[in-house]
């Protein structure tokens, strides 16, 4: 009896634990399942996914959008969603690449895990390889910051076109790339994203989309009298308010004691006088276009119409901010003191019919620090995907403007990194040599997937690329997959360019995700409180244990 160990009950009955090698392998397989969904969307010939959730249909080619829309419940696979989001926030494009790369790193690590190599050895080698790759990338990048404005614009258009290559609207890239570049170039130094408005109007064709050098927003709710207002102005002054121009009814239960019936009239008149005084001050300011965040009632609408002034009430907040940025001036919360410096102006104001909507358009603005892209097209899902594509392209141009370094795309830089890391692996000894060699091999997944998605023989293309990169030295460095001619080409010469930042972010995020998953050796899933008959603390939360240290239980 003395030798028996008492049994320790640590976790509540029904808790699901899985640990060790099988656990790691199953996590890697879960990641592979996510990557298999998005891998076919990579590159210019990538396919799109149609995701049906509740009663909404999303058609998308954007890795981040796809993994966000999927309802993933596996805790390890969730990291794929997170890295796609982080790539989207940091670089804006390359979301599919980052998921495919992370999966390939894990796939290469899987054989070592199964053979019993300790995950920490793999993690250490991966981190070292990632550091070397990022150093080399920075070294190889090409600076395109030449001062000539026209040349700079052409270079940015090429970057925008490369980003649009893999999207649904790739056939219209020559139409959209200049629009995107002009939109970004019109912003101020900080390049704020919210100053590029994208408005979607169903109907027409994609080629009917246009860029407004200023602000466009949908006609707001309007009262009677609106029809008589002029709808076109040249060089109008614009008054922006945060004031309600409506007659307010008296508050309930207000009590006023009068001694003389004539006093009653003066009380009623007072209210009218207040609003007329406000309207009169606005007219005197010389403004021809009056916008307000709050309602502009029927009395005010008619008053402005009689004086040939255009007004719009309940203008959305983001549109109002952009009007201020475009026309100058400031939003006023009081009518008193409408000095000339708080009143904006624009070159032309007009209200036009676009599709079945009416839009108010402020163009040729003096400040010109904001633009609006009006997208047209057939189905709603199609326009929504066009918007996502434009967003990626805008982010790429912003990145290229801020950091004017680029690397060739088309799998060229991945092949070169793969070659460099293989050479490096030969100079070290021990298990790290094998692991870094596998990390190098993983990079080849990008050109391979580009070829597969285009329907080429990927083995043949990869052999030709390896031969170019190894044998041709400096001249062969920028060779990647030529999607147009089923072969290989110099991607730098063909202007298939990507900002350096996109690649740095992708390699960093993919390596981090792979290391995170390799460092987890146990998953503990607490049973729900209901399963326990409602008693006790509801576990519910998942716990992932890394490197043998349990995380504190969620309360």
Catalytic amino acids?
A: 62, 95-96, 392
SS3 assignment, position 462: helix
SS3 assignment, position 285: coil
Q: 464, 488 in Cβ contact below 8 A?
A: yes
DSSP count for the chain of H helices, then E strands: 17, 21
Report the C-alpha gap between 76 and 553 in whole angstroms.
18
Report the C-alpha gap between 148 and 152 in whole angstroms.
6
Q: 517, 31 in Cβ contact below 8 A?
A: yes
Q: 20, 9 in Cβ contact below 8 A?
A: no
- Strand locations in 395-491, DSSP E? 405-408, 479-482, 487-490
Joined tokens for residue 346:
């624009």
Q: What is the CA radius of gyration of the chain?
A: 31
Element housing 277 (H / E): helix 261-284
Joined tokens for residue 182:
């002009």
Query: Buried b vs exposed e over 60-75: b needs ≥16 C-beta within 10 Å?
Result: bbbbbbbbbbbebebe
Q: 83, 38 in Cβ contact below 8 A?
A: no
Joined tokens for residue 277:
């005084």
Q: 415, 469 in Cβ contact below 8 A?
A: yes
Element housing 374 (H / E): strand 371-377
Q: What is the DSSP letter of 245?
A: B
Chain position carrying tokens 């404005």: 149
Joined tokens for residue 530:
């209901």
Sign of the CA dihedral with 135 first, then 141, 147, and 152 last: negative
Q: 240, 329 in Cβ contact below 8 A?
A: yes
- Cβ neighbours for 520, distance < 8 A, ≥ 6 positions apart: 23, 24, 27, 76, 544, 545, 546
Cα angle at 519 between 513 and 521, to 5 degrees?
Answer: 125
Report the C-alpha gap between 205 and 202 in whole angstroms.
9
User: Which residue, 453, 397, 443, is CA-closest to 43?
Assistant: 453
- Cβ neighbours for 391, distance < 8 A, ≥ 6 positions apart: 92, 198
- Cβ neighbours for 445, distance < 8 A, ≥ 6 positions apart: 100, 101, 104
Q: 109, 71 in Cβ contact below 8 A?
A: no
């Amino acid at each position: 009896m003395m030798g028996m160990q008492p049994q320790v009950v640590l976790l509540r009955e029904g808790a699901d634990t899985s640990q060790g090698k099988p656990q790691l392998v199953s996590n890697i397989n879960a990641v592979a399942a996510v990557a298999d969904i998005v891998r076919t969307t990579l590159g210019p010939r990538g396919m799109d996914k149609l995701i049906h959730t509740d009663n909404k249909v999303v058609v998308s080619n954007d890795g981040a959008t796809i993994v966000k829309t999927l309802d993933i419940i596996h805790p390890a696979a969730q990291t794929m969603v997170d890295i796609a989001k982080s790539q989207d926030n940091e670089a804006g494009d390359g979301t599919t690449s980052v998921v495919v790369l992370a999966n390939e790193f894990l796939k290469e690590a899987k054989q070592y895990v199964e053979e019993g190599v300790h995950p920490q050895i793999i993690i250490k080698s991966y981190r070292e390889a990632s550091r070397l790759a990022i150093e080399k990338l920075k070294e190889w990048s090409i600076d395109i910051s030449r001062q000539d404005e026209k040349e700079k614009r052409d270079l940015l258009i090429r970057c925008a076109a490369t980003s649009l290559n893999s999207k649904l609207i790739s056939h219209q890239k020559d139409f959209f790339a200049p629009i995107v570049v002009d939109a970004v170039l019109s912003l101020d130094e900080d390049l704020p994203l919210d100053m590029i408005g994208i408005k979607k109007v169903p109907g027409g064709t994609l080629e009917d989309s246009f860029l407004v050098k200023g602000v466009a927003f949908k006609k707001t709710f309007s009262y009677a009298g609106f029809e008589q207002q002029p709808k076109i102005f040249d060089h109008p002054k614009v008054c922006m308010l945060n004031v309600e121009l409506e007659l307010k009814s008296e508050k309930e239960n207000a009590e006023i004691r009068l001694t003389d019936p004539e006093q009653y009239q003066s009380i009623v008149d007072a209210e009218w006088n207040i609003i007329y005084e406000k309207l009169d001050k606005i007219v005197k300011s010389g403004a021809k276009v009056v916008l307000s965040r709050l309602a502009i009632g029927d009395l005010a609408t008619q008053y402005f119409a009689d004086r040939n002034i255009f007004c719009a009430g309940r203008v959305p907040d983001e549109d109002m901010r952009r009007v201020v940025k475009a026309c100058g001036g400031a939003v006023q919360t009081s009518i008193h003191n409408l000095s000339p410096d708080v009143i904006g102006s624009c070159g032309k104001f007009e209200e036009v019919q676009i599709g079945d909507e009416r839009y108010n358009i402020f163009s040729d603005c003096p400040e010109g620090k904001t633009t609006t892209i009006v997208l047209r097209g057939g189905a709603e899902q199609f326009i929504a995907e066009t918007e996502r594509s434009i967003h990626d392209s805008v982010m790429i141009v912003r990145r290229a403007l801020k950091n004017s370094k680029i690397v060739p795309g088309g799998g060229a830089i991945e092949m070169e990194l793969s070659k460099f890391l293989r050479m490096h692996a030969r100079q070290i000894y021990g298990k790290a040599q094998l692991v870094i060699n596998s990390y190098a091999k993983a990079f080849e997944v990008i050109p391979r997937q580009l070829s597969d998605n285009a329907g080429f023989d990927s083995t043949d293309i990869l052999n030709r690329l390896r031969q170019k990169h190894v044998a041709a030295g400096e001249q062969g460095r920028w060779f990647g997959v030529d999607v147009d001619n089923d072969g290989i080409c110099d991607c730098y010469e063909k202007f298939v360019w990507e900002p350096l930042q996109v690649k740095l972010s992708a390699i960093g995020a993919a390596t981090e995700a792979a290391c995170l998953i390799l460092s987890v050796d146990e998953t503990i899933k607490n049973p729900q409180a209901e399963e326990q008959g409602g008693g006790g603390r509801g576990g519910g939360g998942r716990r992932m244990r890394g490197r043998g240290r349990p995380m504190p239980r969620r309360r």
